Amino acid sequence: MEMILCKLGEVVLKGLNRRSFEDKLIANLRRRVANCGSFRIYAKQSTIYVEPTDDAADLAAAFDACRKVFGVIAVSRALPCAKDVQAIIETAKTYLHEDLSTAASFKVESKRADKTFPLTSIQLSQQVGGALHQAYPNCAVDVHAPALTVFLEIRDDAAFVHGPAVPGAGGLPLGMGGTAVTLLSGGIDSPVSSWMMAKRGVALEPLHFFSPPYTSEAAKEKVIALARELAPWCGRMRLQIVPFTEIQEEIRRNCPEEFFTLVMRRFMMRIAQRCAEEAHAKAIVTGECLGQVASQTMEALRVTEDVVTLPVLRPLIGMDKEEIVRLSRKIGTFDTSILPYEDCCTVFTPRHPRTRPHLDEVRAAEAALDVEALCGRAMDGREFVRIKL
């Protein structure tokens, strides 16, 4: 029966950790394809095999799911057949008919794990390549830069003909990098920053601040939708929605206008740190990008992170908007991100925000606020939304 092969990425390089990387990846793959049917999943020689156990499995859906699992660099399908040259040729012809009919050139690459197989890898490639070229004379043999590579593999149990490989998600298996709280707004940037950290193996605890009635129910739904769009990459998550209205109103009542945004961001960080401690998360992720807005100058970032001790990870810090947008389209969050709903950052924005704030001034600006009580009430008012796969 046809199956899916996932090629491991960097995982391969990790020496002693390799086993735990592989185990994590297998567990992640297992969870991701669970919706697509019943599969047997196992690792052999830098490849993970995702093999349906019956005909009911949706292989196309499982293939798409595998492409979004971090730690996999390439995904292909493969069809097993008898360990016999003629059977391999016939299988390649039917299985790869479309590809061989349309590709301008091809080569055959063979791997022989079963050393009792009578032909060497080179002999096998030559024989199968010759037969395929005869059957598809328009598809030239090109061993240097072929449009199509036909992979053959001789294993103990069977021979395998591989379909063309497509790129996987790359990165490291989710969970290998620990857990971080990620600040998820409804904008373009923060879904991308979340995705980038997940790509490096970090499991995410997303956090969203909302300020009814200044921000609408639709704005909240938008963030839930974004989290759902991230789930095929980042796995299931628990989105925490933190009420932020009281804090924003207190800031407006008590602080100089030029510091509104910075004081607000400091509250976001404090609450993020509390949530991180609760979830045993080791860092806070934001979608901040140097120079993008007044609150993202180096001085402003310093003021923002002053209130936390955990590392603040800002994967977008050196990226241009165009690069961020390109990624956002690739991961599938862009269309939702541009829906026109207000964010709590856009209510009470100062007309003249300070771009080079001094820490002392900002600390003084918020001195009148009961930080402890405000954060405590925001924590108590949280709502939790389960984001399933």
Kindly list the residues in this chain that would bind Mg ion in the complex (CB under 5 A). Answer: 185, 187, 343, 345
For ligand ATP, give the closer residue by CB, 72 or 180. 180
Give 187 or 353: the residue with its C-beta nearer to Mg ion.
187
Closest CB to Mg ion among 126 and 346? 346
Instruction: Select the binding partner of residue 205 from ligand ATP, Mg ion, none (C-beta < 5 to 8 A, by kind).
Output: none
By a kind-dependent CB cut-off of 5 to 8 A, residue 72 interacts, out of Mg ion, ligand ATP, none, with: none
Token readout for 130 is 């010759």
Which entry of Mg ion, ligand ATP, none binds 355, CB below 5 to 8 A by partner kind? none
Nearest residue to ligand ATP, scored by beta-carbon proximity: 187
Nearer to ligand ATP, 155 or 252 (CB): 252
Q: How far is the CB of 312 from Mg ion (least distance, A)?
A: 16
Minimum CB–partner distance for residue 194 and ligand ATP (Å):
8
Shortest Å distance, C-beta 60 to ligand ATP:
33
Amino acid at 264: M
Nearer to ligand ATP, 130 or 212 (CB): 212
Query: Which one, 185 or 273, has the nearer CB to Mg ion?
Result: 185
Structure tokens at 334: 């862009």
The entry of ligand ATP, Mg ion, none near residue 208 (CB within 5 to 8 angstroms by kind) is ligand ATP
79 binds, among ligand ATP, Mg ion, none (CB under 5 to 8 A by kind): none
For residue 222, what are the contacts with CB-CB under 8 A and spacing of at least 6? 186, 336, 339, 341
| Minimal distance, residue 97 CB to ligand ATP, in Å | 46
Minimum distance, C-beta of residue 106 to ligand ATP, in the bound complex (Å): 45
Q: Shortest approach of ligand ATP to residue 329 CB, angstroms?
A: 14
> Which residue number is nearest to Mg ion in terms of Cβ?
187
- Residues forming contacts to ligand ATP in the complex (CB under 6 A) are 183-185, 187-190, 207-209, 286-288, 292-293, 295, 343-345
Q: Is 37 left (phi over 0), alpha (psi -120 to 50) or beta?
A: left
Contacts of 67 (CB under 8 A, 6+ apart): 75, 166, 167, 168, 169
For ligand ATP, the closer of residues 88 and 268 by Cβ is 268
| 63 vs 209, beta carbon nearer ligand ATP | 209
Closer to ligand ATP by Cβ: residue 160 or 209: 209
Q: Which does 292 bind (CB under 5 to 8 A by kind): ligand ATP, Mg ion, none?
A: ligand ATP
Nearest approach in angstroms of CB 307 to ligand ATP is: 14
Q: What is the 3-state secondary structure (H, E, C) of the chain?
A: CCEEEEEECHHHHHHHHHHHHHHHHHHHHHHHHHHHCCEEEEEECCEEEEEECCCCCCHHHHHHHHCCCCCEEEEEEEEEECCCHHHHHHHHHHHCHHHHHHCCEEEEEEEECCCCCCCCHHHHHHHHHHHHHHHCCCCEECCCCCCEEEEEEECCCCEEEECCCEECCCCECCCCCCEEEEECCCCCHHHHHHHHHHHECCEEEEEEEECCCCCCHHHHHHHHHHHHHHHHHHCCEEEEEEECHHHHHHHHHHCCHHHHHHHHHHHHHHHHHHHHHHCCCCCEECCCCCCCCHHHCHHHHHHHHCCCCCCEECCCCCCCHHHHHHHHHHHCCHHHHCCCCCCHHHCCCCCCCCCCCCHHHHHHHCCCCCHHHHHHHHHHCCEEEEECC
When CB distances are held under 5 to 8 angstroms depending on the partner's kind, the choice from ligand ATP, Mg ion, none that residue 125 binds is none
Shortest spacing between CB 388 and Mg ion, in angstroms: 26
CB of 384 to ligand ATP, least distance (A): 15
* Partner interacting with residue 267 (select from Mg ion, ligand ATP, none; CB below 5-8 Å by kind): none
CA distance 49 to 62: 12
At position 323, the amino acid (one-letter code) is E
Partner whose binding site includes residue 229, from ligand ATP, Mg ion, none (CB under 5 to 8 Å by kind): none
Task: Give me the half-sphere count of Cα atoms (radius 13 Å) on the Cβ side of residue 232.
Answer: 19
CB-wise, 163 or 353, nearer to ligand ATP? 353
User: Whole-number minimum distance, CB 242 to ligand ATP, in Å?
Assistant: 8
